[in-house]
Amino acid sequence: MSKALKIGVRRGHGDPEFIWNVIVLDLAHNEAVKFLTPEQYSHEVQQVQCLACEKDPTHSVTQTVESVEDFYELKDKGGPLGRINVRIFFDLDKPIQAIVILGAIFKGNNGAMPVGDKKRMKRRKRKYFAGDFGTIDFAKVKAANSEDMRGGSEG
């Protein structure tokens, strides 16, 4: 059985260095791989990594990010995505300086976010902050990685 939360990026790693941790709900990962090819998924990972390098990912200077009520959407289309219009939904967990990936959808048009998707992301956000998906202790992950010369733990 897979974990409900995974570490996508750790703050302080990368080149350029990541300012934010990235936590990915397993549900979000599973949604994305259902409609994205491996190349497209890799492209979206790079988009999120770019957000993790920004001082304020909710007001990105490199990506198109918009507020959707009390969470955010990263909008992307074209390039490696072809005709696919992708939305990656996230929120910030500021105490642990993390971008929390709540979900991903293939959006058929440029209109408003579908109500069902909005409700699902709001529910996931509520459950994440209530601890229903578990937690990640980045201090323990860092200590484990220091002891593990393979660079190991993913959360």
pLDDT, tens digit, 9 for 90 and up, residues 24-65: 999 999 999 999 999 999 999 999 999 999 999 999 998 999
CATH of the domain at 138: 3.30.2310.20
pLDDT, tens digit, 9 for 90 and up, residues 64-109: 999 998 999 999 988 888 888 899 999 999 999 999 999 999 877 6
Number of structural domains the chain divides into: 1
User: Does residue 41 contact residue 33 with C-beta atoms inside 8 Å?
Assistant: yes
The pTM for the full model equals 0.87
**What tokens were used for 109?**
């048009």
Domain that holds residue 86: 5-147
> Rounded to whole angstroms, what are the CA distances from 94 to 42, 77, 97, 99?
26, 28, 4, 8
Handedness of CA 115, 117, 118, 124 (dihedral sign): positive
Q: How far apart are CA 34 and CA 3, in angstroms?
A: 18
